[in-house]
Amino acid sequence: HKIMPHVDLLYSELQKRNIDSDFIAGVIQNFINSMQTIREAIPFMVKEEEFVVPIHEPPTKKWKRLGEDMQRHFALEVCDTIVSHAKERFSFTKHLISATLVQANFFRKHSRMFPGSALDTALEAYPFLDKAKLKTELSLIYENEEFHSCSGAVALFRVLMENNLQDIFTETVSLLNIVITTPMNTSESKRCFSTSNRIKVFLKNTLAQDRLNALAMLSIEKKLTQDIRDFNTKVIEKYAAQIHRREKFMYK
């Protein structure tokens, strides 16, 4: 109960859109400092808990009571694990800054003042990108109103691919490929998890991982499947034609 408020605060801070590398580093350091403070106070917390008298009836099941040394050991181990994972998980945050270059809600702002610091951060993270060409391509995207309606990196990528612009905006496409495939806390990744949850609830969690991945891909790319003529009929026919089935779906 001492740790979770700091976890919630860290999560809410990282949800903000207007972030930079300094902001992220400061938030993570504050979280680590809070964990260190809790860790240092653990001996006093254990002693306080020892004298707490329960106000409810004891449970019928007998629980093994941990000694003070064991409680302190587990509590210290939890704090050390959280700090270690926080440092490891957020050791690389430049991809979060790089993603702001292709977020459509920033395009109007970027058209007035090009985000040079974000571009430099992207080049530090991905030095194989051509800085001059990427800057030129992004400037064209920021100034073109048609790109402002894109809902995110995936939508921008689709617009470029559907209009055969991948050979013109080569560096932007490379950056989009990185942003789309790199795990980060964005609304697009949340939509993917939401799709997974809907599929699992619908099928009552009876899915194997391969089947879940296939259904998730169908749900995410539903526009593509809708454009395929007689897609549902073809799927049903292929399913019915399989040999090893409990029921016979095809009769002669």
Span 220-237, pLDDT tens digits: 677 777 778 888 888 888
DSSP for residue 65? P
Distance of alpha carbon 39 from alpha carbon 33, whole angstroms: 10
Q: What is the pTM of this model?
A: 0.47
Residue type, 27: V
pLDDT of residue 136: 93
Would you say 6 and 82 are in contact if contact means Cβ atoms under 8 Å apart? no
Asked which of 19-23, 28-32, 46-50 is least confident by mean pLDDT, the reply is 46-50
Q: Is the pLDDT of residue 53 over 50?
A: no
Distance of alpha carbon 17 from alpha carbon 80, whole angstroms: 29
Q: What is the mean pLDDT of the chain?
A: 75
Q: And the tokens for 104?
A: 């459509």
pLDDT of residue 245: 60
Q: And the tokens for 33?
A: 């400092």
pLDDT of residue 207: 53
Distance of alpha carbon 246 from alpha carbon 95, whole angstroms: 49
pLDDT of 135-171, one tens digit each? Answer: 999 999 999 888 888 877 888 888 898 888 889 999 9
* Residues 6 or more apart whose Cβ sits within 8 Å of residue 17: 100, 103, 105
Give the pLDDT mean for 56-62.
52
Asked which of 2-11, 88-97, 191-200, 242-251 is least confident by mean pLDDT, the reply is 191-200
Q: CA separation (Å) from 87 to 16, 24, 25, 144, 171?
A: 20, 12, 10, 40, 31
